[in-house]
Amino acid sequence: MNSERCAACKYLRRRCPSDCIFAPYFPSNNPQRFACVHKIYGASNVGKMLQQLPTHKRVQAANSLYYEAQCRIQDPVYGCVGIISLLLQQIHNAENQLAKTQAEIAVLSNSHTQDSQFQQNFLLQQGNVGQSSSPSTQPSSWFK
Amino acid sequence: MGGNSPCASCKLLRRRCAKDCVFAPYFPSDDPHKFAIVHKVFGASNVSKMLQELSVHQRADAVSSLVYEANARMRDPVYGCVGAISYLQNQVSQLQMQLAVAQAEILCIQMQNEPVMPTPQMDPEDDKSFLLQNNLPQYLNFASSSNVIHDSLKRESIFGDIVS
């Protein structure tokens, strides 16, 4: 009886045992997945890494190894560290943009408050004598 | 001249450190841990192949990134660097949301500022302000518009296809 070998055992040209460490994570219909991982880490290292993990964590580990291997193949100098660097830069830019936008909100809020105060005072002078007003009143809801 | 001290790689691999050893410039003997960790995750043979496929001026950066990835994998044997990428992508998404909210707020304030004038000349039959008020919720929803960061991040989504 010849059960189909997993992608790893096919690649390594060996018999695929029933308890093959690779078989659940490197199915035969995706040979490229194991080829990637093998190129960067080597079969032996991948096998050791998977064996050191509990069974329920091996899928995620195999997926992350595949992802990192792909990154390294695409960018042989920086691998997925290049992506981390890009994300850090994007965070930095977004934080700057957010700070600028929040400053703009503060300016606009102040200018709107001053216009409202001016209008209120103008109307009061026009005819609403007797109502006391506090020109310095600033609704706290404008400011966060 | 006396014998050259073998680099950390050759010490660990227990072999003679050749003059043109590919590891020697990047794995000095005073930092054995650096090579040990890279060897554990990637294997000396794979590291050697990777370095040899690069031009000399790229190898230092390649070694630094390999060391970084190896350290990440040792700290988190399940996710390695992917854990950090996931966390950072989440941060970027949150910042994008905050930025969209802030930009919507600016639109609201600008629209509220427009009708305010010292000599109001509001025509009761002018339904422009009425339309603006009715459209405010739509503007708030529209605030989550396309974003350069989001589009570029699509390429880097975890476990998705990497654009070749």
ipTM summary value: 0.74
Distance separating alpha carbons of residues A58 and B23, to the nearest angstrom: 32
Q: Name the residue with higher pLDDT: A112 or B163.
A: A112
Distance separating alpha carbons of residues B114 and B136, to the nearest angstrom: 14
Residue A144 has pLDDT above 90, yes or no: no
Contact B60, B52 (CB under 8 A): no
The answer to whether B140 faces chain A, any CB pair under 8 Å, is no
Question: A29-41: string of b/e by CB count within 10 Å (b at 16+)?
Answer: eeeebbebbbebb
Q: Render pLDDT for B109-130 as a digit per residue (tens, 0 to 9).
A: 888 877 655 555 555 555 444 4
pTM for this entry: 0.70
Coil, strand, or helix at residue B18?
coil
Q: Render pLDDT for A106-127 as a digit per residue (tens, 0 to 9).
A: 988 887 677 777 777 777 776 6
The answer to whether B114 faces chain A, any CB pair under 8 Å, is no
Distance separating alpha carbons of residues A91 and A89, to the nearest angstrom: 5
Q: How far apart are the first and last CA of chain B?
A: 50
B68-87 mean pLDDT: 96
Q: Which amino acid is at A78?
A: Y
Opening angle at CA B18, ends B16 and B20, nearest 5 = 160
Q: Name the residue with higher pLDDT: B3 or B105.
A: B105
How sure is the predictor about B1, in pLDDT bands with cuts at 50, 70 and 90?
very low
Residue B145 has pLDDT above 60, yes or no: no
CA distances from B30 to B9, B24, B34, B116, B129 (A): 11, 11, 10, 71, 74
Residue B150 has pLDDT above 60, yes or no: no
At B15 the pLDDT is 94
Query: Min CA distance, B13 vs chain A (Å)?
Result: 16
Minimum Cα–Cα distance from B46: chain A residue: A40
Nearest Cα to Cα of residue B66 among B82, B42, B85? B42
Q: Render pLDDT for B7-52 as a digit per residue (tens, 0 to 9).
A: 999 999 999 999 999 999 999 999 999 999 999 999 999 999 999 9
Opening angle at CA B16, ends B15 and B20, nearest 5 = 120
Minimum Cα–Cα distance from A56: chain B residue: B78
Residue A130 has pLDDT above 60, yes or no: no
Distance separating alpha carbons of residues B105 and B140, to the nearest angstrom: 8
Who among A88, A98, A116 is closest to B98 (CB)? A98
CB neighbours of B18 closer than 8 A, spacing ≥ 6?
Answer: none
The answer to whether B113 faces chain A, any CB pair under 8 Å, is yes
A134-138 mean pLDDT: 39
